[in-house]
Structure formats: C-alpha cells, structure tokens
C-alpha cells in the first residue's frame, strides 16, 4: 500500500520546533536500532543551504525486508526535513510484488521517479534516465567514490545507470546449534555440494527439520554453478552477448541434488518454497531449517529476525563448491542501485536524492549498510565504529569472498537483458525435474537450448 509522508509545512514546522527547543524527536514506528533522530542528523547536514523552491513530489519504491523498509523511510524523513520543498511518496514491497508492479508501470509509462534495480537493469534500461549529465554538471558529486565503484552501476557503454547502494555477495546462513545437535561438522570455506547434501540429509534424519531452506537456485546451480566447473567457464560470456559454456551437463548435478533432497524431505518442495515471501518467513528464522541462502547485505536482517524468534546465533559461510580445490564461482558485485526514471518530471531532484542516499554520512548511519557495504569512502569510515557484531561479520565475509581466486577473470559482473527469461525457464525445468516430469539431464538440456536461443 502506498504510504505518504507528512505535509511539507507540518514536517518543517515540527523539525524547526524541536531544534529550537533542544528536544529530541519523538519515537516513531521504526525500531530504536534503525532510527536516528532528525535533530541529531541535522547537526552535520545543517550546513546545506535551504532556499525557497517550488514544491516537488517524488515517488520512490524498493524491495526488501522490514529492516530495510524502516531504515529507508527514516532516511526519506531526514531528507525531507532538510529539503522542505520536497515530498517523497514511497512504496516498500517484497521482491515479487515489486517486479510485478514495475512491469505494470513500465507498460503504462508511470515508473516511480526513484526505483531500485540489481544486475537485471538491462531489462529496464529503456526506463532509466542516465546520470552522466548530472555528474558532469555537479548535481551529483562522485568525488568521494572511485571509478571502479561507479562502473559496477554502469552499462557496457559506460553510461551511469544508477549509483550503487553497496557491494555484496551471496552466502549460506546456518544455525550452528542445529549442526551440533545433529552431530554434523560445521562447513568450511572449501566445503562441497556433496558435503552440503550429506549435512542436509543427516540434519533432517536426526532433527526432523529441513536441512536447508529456500535457495536462489538460479544463482547456485546456473550462474555460479557453471563458474565452478573451471575458470574458463561462466553462464554468460564477459561481453554478455552469448553463453560462456557449451556443455549442458554442467547444469545437471545441481538439479539432481535438489530433487534428491526434496524426495528425502530434507529440502522444502517448490510449493513450500513459494510460501517464503521475505526474510521473516524463512524456515531458518522459524527454526524449521538449519541452512538458507542469503545475500550478504540481508544477513543482518535475517539474523535479527532469527534472534527475535529465539534462535541465539546464525553463522555465515560461502556457498559450496563442486570440488574442494576448485573455483568458488562467486565474487563481489553490486547489491542494488538506485535509478532515476525516464518517466520522472523532476529527474534532477530525483538525482539529488540518490546522491544524498548513497553518500551522506548521516543518512548512512541510519541505513547501516543494509543494502551492502557502502562505496563512498567517507561513509565506510564513519560506519566503522557504528557496526554491530553481525554487521562486522558481513564486512569480514565480503573480504573473504573478495580474496577468492577467480583466475584473473570477472565472474558474471552483470546480466544481459534475456537473463530474467532464462532464469524463469531454469526454475520451471528445475521444478519439473523435482516432480519427476523430466530427468535432470532433460531439464539441463532444455535450459541450455533456450538460453542459447536468446542470442
């Protein structure tokens, strides 16, 4: 449901009144962990000059957990307090709901002024207002970041399609208490998919829970999985204009393993997986599974949700490899980016907010790297002493993954426009194989043939 913030004059009056009286802002619906007082934040940001300006209304949307929603809304409120002519209407959603709505808005030419995308940005590039001119004329100041960080939110022609919200990677969150109770050794950096499978089966047998919760099967079995065959392979080639492998059997072993685990009751069937709409509903959070797939920038939210449900500790480890001494198939990448819409009537104002969101220290003391490790140096430095133990774990984990050998190559830095269609086919045939409607070999061949036909 679309939410709208307080009227501009009321907001400005409230903030000025609080500053004048030297009082802290009253508690809001955000948790005390995720909310920073507007008064405190304006101490640093008050150097920004405010001038009379025409009222501007921007629309913004994103997907994510409740933690992300709370923190993002708090930053929006901070920005409005510093720019009283700006009102931002916002729509926080879950992942599926977000992209369903985005598809509708693309068709009707009504995409939000500010919207969140990931490596699938080529699919929506016709709706992205590139930031090149805003950077050139100083509307967006990128002096506090690096060309390398800018490039991960740019297209193959160098157009700046957004500003990166942070860098992240993927991992496996697991409950060490369950491993101990089941007598299973905790995973290490060079564990294999066979180790993972045996852990799932044993934990299910001993504890009568799922060994593992919902996975991003496309990442684990295809995008990352092909790269684990060797440094010369990747699902897409480095130019994103074709496949980076020519043997469909490279997709088979993961599909076979997933079917075996579902048949054994050690992994939820596709219907149960579809019931998990967000982090708070994950089977690891409810104590019904020992492991789950997680993006590193969502690990803190997952840990918080699990702790609120009585689970004392989760740990984070890299996904298994096909061979203990083989490539990890995983690398550091952009988590998400914020983009300006071609449909926006106020693209410059939207660009100003994006710069504030990504580079302002006070804003990022609210966000606390929930979308990934920040790319602006001043923000990273300021957050060093603000991080919780769980968030420090994420920083350390990203450093570990960043140290993995990639054979001197970049592993799937972006995705071609056809990625979503291929991913849909992969999940479709994986499900058919799980339900016994085709073999793993047939599923792998069908996915390979479809992917090849897209170029």
- 236: burial class by Cβ within 10 Å (0-12, 13-18, 19+)? buried
Report pLDDT digits (tens) over 338-349: 999 999 999 999
User: Would you state the CATH architecture of domain 3-166+336-386?
Assistant: 3-Layer(aba) Sandwich (3.40)
Residue 196: partners with Cβ closer than 8 Å, 6 or more residues away: 172, 187, 212, 291, 320
Question: CB–CB of 72/301 below 8 Å?
Answer: no
Report pLDDT digits (tens) over 262-272: 999 999 999 99
Question: CB–CB of 217/430 below 8 Å?
Answer: yes
pLDDT for 281:
93
Sheet holding 315-317, edge to edge: 291-295, 170-174, 315-317
Question: Is 50 exceeded by the pLDDT of residue 48?
Answer: no
Question: CB–CB of 338/163 below 8 Å?
Answer: yes
Question: CB–CB of 169/294 below 8 Å?
Answer: no
pLDDT-derived band at 5 (thresholds 50, 70, 90) equals very low
Question: Is 60 exceeded by the pLDDT of residue 321?
Answer: yes
- Count helices and strands (H / E) in the chain: 19, 14
Candidates 3.90.330.10, 3.30.2270.10, 3.40.190.10, 3.60.15.10; correct CATH number of 170-330+404-453?
Answer: 3.40.190.10
CA distances from 422 to 271, 417, 454 (A): 21, 10, 8
Report pLDDT digits (tens) over 178-197: 999 999 999 999 999 999 99
Residue 422: partners with Cβ closer than 8 Å, 6 or more residues away: 447, 450, 451, 454
Report pLDDT digits (tens) over 114-149: 999 987 888 899 999 999 999 999 999 999 998 878
Across residues 240-247, what is the average pLDDT?
A: 92
Question: Is 90 exceeded by the pLDDT of residue 254?
Answer: yes
Report pLDDT digits (tens) over 357-372: 999 999 999 998 889 8
DSSP string, 209-257: SBSS----HIIIIIIHHHHTT-TT-EEE-TTSSSEE---GGGGHHHHHH
Does the predicted model carry a pTM greater than 0.85? no
Report pLDDT digits (tens) over 430-441: 999 999 999 999
**Residue ranges per domain, the chain?**
3-166+336-386, 170-330+404-453
pLDDT for 411:
54
pLDDT-derived band at 297 (thresholds 50, 70, 90) equals confident
Question: Is 60 exceeded by the pLDDT of residue 413?
Answer: no
DSSP string, 386-450: T--HHHHHHHHHHHHHHTS--TTS----S--TTHHHHHHHHHHHHHHHHTTSS-HHHHHHHHHHH
Question: Is 50 exceeded by the pLDDT of residue 28?
Answer: no
pLDDT-derived band at 69 (thresholds 50, 70, 90) equals very high
Whether 3-166+336-386 and 170-330+404-453 share one fold: the answer is yes
pLDDT-derived band at 13 (thresholds 50, 70, 90) equals very low
The angle, 0 to 180 degrees and rounded to 10, between the axes of the packed helices 8-21 and 66-82 is 80
Tell me what the pLDDT averaged over the chain comes to.
Answer: 87
Region for residue 22 given its phi and psi (left: phi exceeds 0; alpha: psi -120 to 50; beta: otherwise): left
pLDDT for 410:
56
Report the candidate in 143, 149, 89, 163 with the shortest Cα–Cα distance to residue 339: 163
pLDDT-derived band at 282 (thresholds 50, 70, 90) equals very high
Report the candidate in 174, 166, 172 with the shortest Cα–Cα distance to residue 64: 166
pLDDT for 416:
83
| Site of tokens 């490279």 | 250
């Amino acid at each position: 449901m679309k939410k709208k913030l307080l009227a501009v004059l009321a907001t400005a009056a409230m903030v000025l009144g609080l500053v004048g009286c030297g009082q802290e802002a009253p508690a809001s619906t955000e948790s005390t962990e995720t909310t920073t007082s507007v008064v405190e934040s304006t101490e640093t940001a008050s150097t920004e000059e405010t001038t009379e300006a025409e009222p501007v209304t921007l629309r913004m949307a994103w997907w994510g957990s409740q933690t992300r929603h709370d923190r993002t809304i708090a930053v929006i409120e901070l920005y409005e307090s510093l720019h009283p002519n700006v009102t931002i209407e916002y729509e926080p959603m879950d992942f599926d709901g977000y992209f369903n709505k985005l598809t509708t808005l693309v068709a009707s030419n009504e995409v939000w002024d500010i919207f969140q995308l990931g490596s699938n940005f080529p699919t929506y590039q016709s709706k992205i207002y590139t930031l090149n001119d805003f950077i050139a004329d100083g509307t967006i100041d990128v002096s506090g970041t690096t060309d390398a960080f800018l490039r991960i939110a740019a297209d193959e022609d160098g157009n700046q399609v957004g500003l990166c919200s942070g860098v992240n990677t993927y991992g496996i969150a697991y409950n060490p208490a369950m491993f101990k109770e089941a007598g299973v050794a905790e995973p290490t950096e060079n564990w294999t998919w066979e180790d993972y499978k045996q852990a799932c089966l044993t934990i299910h047998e001993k504890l009568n829970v799922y060994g593992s919760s919902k996975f991003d099967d496309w990442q684990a079995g295809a995008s990352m999985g092909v790269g684990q065959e060797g440094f010369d392979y990747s699902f897409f080639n480095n130019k994103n204009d074709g496949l980076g492998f020519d043997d469909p059997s490279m997709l088979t072993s993961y599909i076979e393993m997933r079917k075996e685990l579902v048949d054994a009751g050690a992994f939820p069937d596709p219907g149960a997986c579809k019931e998990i709409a967000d982090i708070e509903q994950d089977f690891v959070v409810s104590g019904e599974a020992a492991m789950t797939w997680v993006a590193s920038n969502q690990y803190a939210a997952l840990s918080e949700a699990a702790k609120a449900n009585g689970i004392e500790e989760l740990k984070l480890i890299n996904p298994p490899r096909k061979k203990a001494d083989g490539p990890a198939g995983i690398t550091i990448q952009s988590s998400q980016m914020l983009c300006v819409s071609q449909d926006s009537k106020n693209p410059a104002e939207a660009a100003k907010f994006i710069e504030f969101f990504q580079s302002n220290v006070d804003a990022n003391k609210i966000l606390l790297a929930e979308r990934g490790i920040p790319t602006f140096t001043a923000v990273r430095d300021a957050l060093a002493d603000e991080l919780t133990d769980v968030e420090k774990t994420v920083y350390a984990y990203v450093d570990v993954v960043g140290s993995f050998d990639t054979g001197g190559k970049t592993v799937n830095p972006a995705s071609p426009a056809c990625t979503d269609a291929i991913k849909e086919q992969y999940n479709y045939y994986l499900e058919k194989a799980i339900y016994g409607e085709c073999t793993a070999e047939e599923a792998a061949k069908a996915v390979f043939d479809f992917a090849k036909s897209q170029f």
